[in-house]
């Protein structure tokens, strides 16, 4: 699960996003977090499944991502699990994203939450929703590739 050569350790992965969406581009962003959120992520208690990102007033925000409360902390110092978190992106990246999100009707989906050289980063995908026939086609293609690999192995 950890890739030590790059200093990257994946803590949460949104595998369902690649099934539901066609990922066009990916962006790496930092997160503005509290101390108990960082400790919970280190413990592997983050879920990206229903999350998405929005851009409001020139700032990027991560919504609906669940980071469980830290168990060893008291109830007063803990955080709200589904609170809105600020994404740290460059201004030129945000302006590029605004144009693509408004004109083309795309969405920003969190793909991975990971540590990179001690900092928590999130990989965001600029995504377009798949239709049902697209999902079936992808599954069929993946199954055909597996069958070809098995035949080549024999």
User: Which of 55-59, 94-98, 102-106, 138-142 is least confident?
Assistant: 102-106
- With H, G, I as helix, E, B as strand and everything else as coil, classify residue 64: coil
Q: For 70-114, how does the pLDDT look when each residue is reduced to its tens digit (9 = 90+)? A: 877 666 677 777 889 999 999 999 999 998 888 887 899 999 999
* Distance separating alpha carbons of residues 44 and 58, to the nearest angstrom: 31
Task: State the distance between the two ends of the chain, measured CA to CA, in whole angstroms.
Answer: 30
Q: Which of 143, 39, 30, 13 is nearest to 89 (CA)?
A: 30
Token pair listed for 1? 């699960």
pTM of the model: 0.79
Q: What is the CATH class of 8-153?
A: mainly beta
């Amino acid at each position: 699960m950890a890739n030590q050569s790059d200093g990257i350790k994946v803590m949460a992965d949104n595998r369902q996003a690649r099934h539901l969406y066609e990922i066009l581009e990916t962006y790496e962003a930092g997160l503005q977090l509290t101390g108990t959120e960082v400790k919970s992520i280190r413990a592997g208690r983050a879920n990206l499944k229903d999350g998405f990102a929005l851009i409001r007033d020139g700032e990027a925000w991560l919504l609906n991502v669940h980071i469980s409360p830290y168990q060893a902390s008291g109830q007063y110092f803990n955080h709200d699990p589904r609170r809105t978190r600020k994404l740290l992106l460059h201004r030129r990246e945000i302006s590029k994203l605004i144009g693509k999100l408004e004109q083309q009707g795309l969405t920003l989906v969190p793909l991975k939450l990971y540590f990179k050289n001690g900092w928590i980063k999130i990989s965001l995908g600029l995504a377009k929703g798949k239709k049902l026939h697209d999902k079936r086609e992808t599954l069929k293609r993946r199954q055909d590739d597996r069958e070809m690999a098995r035949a080549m192995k024999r």
